[in-house]
Structure formats: structure tokens, C-alpha cells
Amino acid sequence: MTDIAKNAPSPAWSLLSHNAAQLFYRLLAALLICIVLSVLSDAFLSLGNILNVLRQASLTFFIASGLTLVVLTAGLDLSVGANVALSACLAGTVIHQTGSPTLGILAGLLTGGTVGLMNGVMVTAMRIPSFIATYGMLWVLNGVTYWYMAGETIHGFPAGFRQIGSGYFLGLPIPVYLLLVFLAIGTAFAQRTVWGQEIYAIGANPVAARLSGIPVNCRLLLVYTVSGTMAGLASIIFLSRLNSAEADIGESLTLPAIAAVLIGGTSLFGGVGTIFGTFVGALILTLVLNGMNLLSINANWQPLVTGIIVIIAVWLDMRTRRSAP
């Protein structure tokens, strides 16, 4: 998916400043939605609602942040939702059977990471395009989860474990802290480490990256494993927040996560985008849903409204970016 001419390698500093300008406009779009909503609904601008939106955005963000790295390498991971479902069900079972949340968390992260690694192997060693490899993986994971769960629900977890998803610390929900931590780690990793820059380079031009000595396959394996592990993390947050899991929880998570990455300005052609942009993308999607609930928009109209707002947000962003100096 890479066009060599389009993505000529650029020095790191110009990449950063370019991204900063993009982000500014994207934040502007989010801000615009906020202003409209605060005029339409007085409940919107309350501290409670802002924390509420942030906490809701966190789950999408966890999945989408790992996915961002994959998309930066010009790949895609369609299996993230199914991965969340399987990881949540396995983690839940482990907690139930061992009584140990720690082991459960490990099981969730490990399952997620292993699935991610398998995606990575398919993409690198078996050379299957990521889109299709992870689509196949989606079906395989669904089959395994359906078989494993046999229509049952796993529910009821220890109070300590529940704190991760639903607890507060100093007045802020714990998932919001996790969100900030992973936003910081993700951004630092992508922008400030050699590995991060190598991932950009692979996405921008895999041939050049290979020629310049970057171990492309190793980095790709890493990226898919990270994406899977983040899905595992999301499954833990899901479990501890919802107190239960069943086989179909992942279905509705994948497309919003991908949408968050793309609305956040990461290009499917690779090499362009930031974790922070993805955060803003997740925020925009959450704001739209939050707004529609606050305003009690008729359920029949909600998909249409979401579609239109996504288009307007992306289009405005593209226009402002093009006219920017």
C-alpha cells in the first residue's frame, strides 16, 4: 500500500511539526463538536460528563492505540474485537477458577499478545496481507470463543479487580489514568525511540527500511504483538468495568477502533499519524455518541447522524490541512 514517490523520507523534526499542525486542526474538530453540544445541552459541560466521556473513550483508545502502530506500518488488524472477546472470556475463567485476579490479568494479556503474535507471523513469515490474515483470524477467534463459551456468560468478579475499571483515585476514574499513561508511553515510544521511528520508516517505505538495515520482520512482529496485547488490556478493563463477558462483546468494538485511528489522521498507507491523533479520534467518536444520548436523538437516526459527522469531521480536517501553510 505504499507509494514510494508520495512518502519520500523526511527528517524526523519536520515529521513532528507537520504532525503538530495536523493535530491542531483535529483538536479543533473535537472542540467544535464540544461547543455545539454545550450549546444544545447544559448537561454536557459538567465535570461529571467530561470524565464520563474520557472514561468511555478509554476503552476504544486502548484498542485503537495498539492498532495505530499496525496502521503506521501500512497494515491493519481486523481481529482486535474478536481478540478482546476471547481474551476477556479466558481471563474471566482464570479468575473464577484460581480466584486470583493477577493470574486472570496475565491470562488476558497473554492471550491477546499471543493472538497478536500469530497475526504477526502470518503477515511476516507467511506473507499474507494483514487485512486478510487478520480477517481470517477474526473468524477463527470467533469460532474458538463460541465453542469455548457455548452461549454462557462469565460474571461476578472480586471487588479489588473491579476497581481497575470502575474505581476512582483522587476523584478521577482509574481508566482515565490508564488512558493518560498509555497515551504518554505510546507517544514517547512512537516519537522518541529508535524502534518507534523505525516503525514510521517501515510504513513510509518498507524497501528503503529493509535496505537501511531495519529488521523489518522483527518490528512487524512487535507491532502486531503490541496491538494484540493492547486488545488483551482492553479485555481486562472491559471485564472489570462490566463485571461480565460473553462471546459477542467484540463485534461492536473493531470498526469504532479503526475509525478512531483513521479519524485521528493516521494514514492506511502507513508512515503518517500519531497516537495522540488516535486519542482525539476516539474522543470525537465518543463525543458524538454522548451527544446523541444527551439530546435523546431517535435511535433510528443515530447511524445516519454518526456517518454525517464523521464525514464532516474528516473533510473539514482535510480542507484546513490543505489550506494550512
Q: Of the two residues 185 and 308, which places its CB atom closer to another protein in the complex?
A: 308
Cell of residue 18, nine digits: 507537520
Residues sharing a CB contact under 8 Å with residue 272, sequence separation 6 or more, in sequence order: 7, 19, 72, 203, 204, 265, 266
Q: Other CB atoms closer than 10 Å to residue 187's CB: what's the count?
A: 17
Bridge partners for 169 per DSSP: 172
Q: Are 55 and 175 in contact (CB under 8 A)?
A: yes
Q: Of the two residues 3 and 12, which places its CB atom closer to another protein in the complex?
A: 3
Nearest approach, Cβ of residue 198 and another protein (Å): 21
Nearest approach, Cβ of residue 306 and another protein (Å): 5
Q: Of the two residues 132 and 172, which places its CB atom closer to another protein in the complex?
A: 132
Q: Of the two residues 186 and 273, which places its CB atom closer to another protein in the complex?
A: 273
Nearest approach, Cβ of residue 98 and another protein (Å): 20
Q: Of the two residues 148 and 184, which places its CB atom closer to another protein in the complex?
A: 148
SS3 state at 142: helix
The residue behind cell 490508564 is 178
The alpha carbon of residue 54 and the mean position of all alpha carbons in its chain are separated, in whole angstroms, by 14
Find the largest Cα–Cα distance for the chain. Answer: 59
> Which residue, among 205, 208, 199, 187, has the nearest Cα to 275 in the 3D structure?
187
Nearest approach, Cβ of residue 69 and another protein (Å): 17
d(CA 204, CA 273): 11
Whole-angstrom CA distances from 288 to 30, 163, 264, 295 are 10, 27, 15, 11
Nearest approach, Cβ of residue 11 and another protein (Å): 25
Nearest approach, Cβ of residue 46 and another protein (Å): 7
Q: Of the two residues 40 and 181, which places its CB atom closer to another protein in the complex?
A: 40
